[in-house]
Amino acid sequence: MESKYFCAKSNGKLNYWHTILTGFGFMASSIAWAIYDPYITKILNRLLNESAVITSWSAKLNEAFPALASFAEANGEDVGTAAGGITLVPLFIGIIMTFDNIFGVIFQPTFGKLSDNTHSRLGKRRPFVVYGAPISALLFAIIPIIAVKFNSLGFTMLFIILFVFVMSLWRAPVVALMPDLTPNELRSEGNAVINLMGGIGSALGLFAGTIVTAIYCAAMGISSKSPEFDEYDTFPYVFLLGAAVMIIGMLVILFFVKEPDSRLKLKADMAEAADEEAKRKAEKEAKKAEKERLKSEKLNPGERRSLVFMLMGLFFLFCGTNAISTFFALFAAEILHKTTAQATIMTTAFAAASALAALPAGWLGKKIGRKKTILGGLFIFVLAFAAYLITHILGIDALSGALIWVALIVGGAANMFITVNTLPLVLEIGGIDKVGTYTGYYYTATFSAQIATPIIYGIVRMFTGTYLSLFYYCPIAFILSILCILVVKHGEAIPQEIIDKVKEENED
């Protein structure tokens, strides 16, 4: 009989090739979001600044509260703009950028649970990927066409909403696929490989702008620095490239990943009920057994406390990281004077460092423990961001210019130390039979943060008048995450050394 652990070898080691194949689903998702944040924020920035309604609202706000204009000017805002003083554009960008996270919080836990109970030839998780990814790819490709070619804010928002809704339907199932196919003691290593694939997807998304710009300029016979070049004309092709990779990822999951047929157990149970009376009795017993099983698997007070604080730690962590990913392109334009393609090249350094750190992060989580690895990553994050901020404030331009790259590279590695180990820690608290449910909880915490932080930081940016405030906001969020995770006492896998020792004792 074929093992249900597709990602494990018969000798108890991780099957890296099978885990890589499983990671194509996460790669498909990652490339979409890598393109989504920098390009959608630039699209929205343009459409909102051209909106007469937003401009008039900003002007009325400043007329009603003249002190806001003075405060904005003191903090670097250009009060000579059409809106004058405080502009509402960053706030509205933040609000619109929460749509994907709102849908994630509402639908991801639901579809995570639904996939737990799905019975099909393709298994529990793959049907959601096979149907969800192609629809997402189609909607993704349409968004920039509506925005750039038709300059329509309303229809752009409509297709953004449709896209993020469909993405939310298959995110939890695709993330739960690897834990389903991997034994508990190998999940940190498996999650490292999955995150490596996600990092590759992100890197492809971040390089997409540079690749497309080079091809577009060569085809049009112009330079990217010439007055005839408008970077917005390349946006539809960037999104089309991302959509193509999403389709490829789905096809790999469909044809090369072997998830057990989840109908088999259902058929076996039904076969025992030869007639209606036996069937009703079997259903009654099954419900009773399930109720008893769930009752016995309830978390004790210590585990609940660890789960709550771990989810709070995830909330603050993603408040920091999402603010950077959402607003970095606008930060780069204002502070570093970079185009979108140049800004994404910078964030490629972050993604590349993340990819390179993925496997060491999984090994480190297994060696010294998940919690210590997570906390170490957070401390590194804080130090890297603080170093850049201090040198920028002191006006040491040459050093701060170098340290922004250091912050991105070191921060990318630190981010992977955290990311690789957080999901396995949460799943370990919940137990193997509730992988989909606790994956949903994990994404509820992270997406709740991603709902809150664009709006909160949008307000911070509105009043500070500069995107440099990102480097105040993020370290504060990381420090709060550290304080929460210090309380967590559960979620570590049993060390391999202890398992080996028990085996030796049993053999004696």
- DSSP assignments along 176-216, one per residue: HHHHHTS-GGGHHHHHHHHHHHHHHHHHHHHHHHHHHHHHH
Write out pLDDT tens, residues 48-86: 888 888 878 877 777 777 776 676 666 555 554 544 457
- Classified as helix, coil or strand, 317 is helix
pLDDT value for 295: 53
Write out pLDDT tens, residues 82-111: 444 577 888 899 999 988 878 877 888 788
Under the banding of pLDDT at 50, 70 and 90, the label for residue 29 is: very high
pLDDT value for 305: 82
Sign of CA dihedral 167, 481, 324, 425: negative
Write out pLDDT tens, residues 364-386: 887 888 888 888 889 988 898 88
Range of the domain at 432: 16-261+301-496
- Listed in sequence order, the residues at least 6 apart from 263 whose beta carbon sits closer than 8 Å to its beta carbon are 119, 120, 121
* 276 domain residue, yes or no: no
Distance CA 461, CA 451 (A): 16
Closest of 294, 300, 273 to residue 284, by C-alpha: 273
User: Other C-beta atoms within 10 Å of 507: how many?
Assistant: 6
pLDDT value for 260: 72
Distance CA 407, CA 415 (A): 11
* 252 domain residue, yes or no: yes
* 236 domain residue, yes or no: yes
Write out pLDDT tens, residues 442-477: 878 887 888 899 999 988 888 777 788 888 899 999
Q: Say if residues 414 and 384 touch (Cβ distance below 8 Å).
A: yes
**CATH number of the domain where residue 433 is located:** 1.20.1250.20
- Classified as helix, coil or strand, 14 is strand
Closest of 390, 470, 463, 474 to residue 75, by C-alpha: 463
Give the number of C-alpha atoms closer than 13 A to the C-alpha of residue 206, restricted to the C-beta side. 21
* 271 domain residue, yes or no: no
* 255 domain residue, yes or no: yes
* 506 domain residue, yes or no: no
Bridge partners, residue 8, by sequence: 14
How many residues belong to the chain? Answer: 508
- Listed in sequence order, the residues at least 6 apart from 273 whose beta carbon sits closer than 8 Å to its beta carbon are 279, 280, 281, 282, 283
Count of domains for the chain? 1
Q: Say if residues 443 and 104 touch (Cβ distance below 8 Å).
A: yes
pLDDT value for 500: 46
Write out pLDDT tens, residues 193-216: 888 898 889 889 988 999 999 999
| Token couple for 382 | 């804080």
> Is the model more confident about 275 or about 244?
244
- DSSP assignments along 147-177, one per residue: IIIH--HHHHHHHHHHHHHHHHHHHHHHHHH
pLDDT value for 1: 39
* 283 domain residue, yes or no: no
Average pLDDT over residues 40-47: 91
> Is the model more confident about 135 or about 267?
135
Distance CA 485, CA 495 (A): 20
Write out pLDDT tens, residues 108-129: 878 888 887 777 888 888 889 9
Closest of 491, 206, 177 to residue 365, by C-alpha: 491
* 278 domain residue, yes or no: no
* Sequence letter at residue 404: I
At residue 343, what are phi and psi to the nearest 5 degrees? -65, -40
Inter-axis angle of helices 24-49 and 153-180, nearest 10: 160
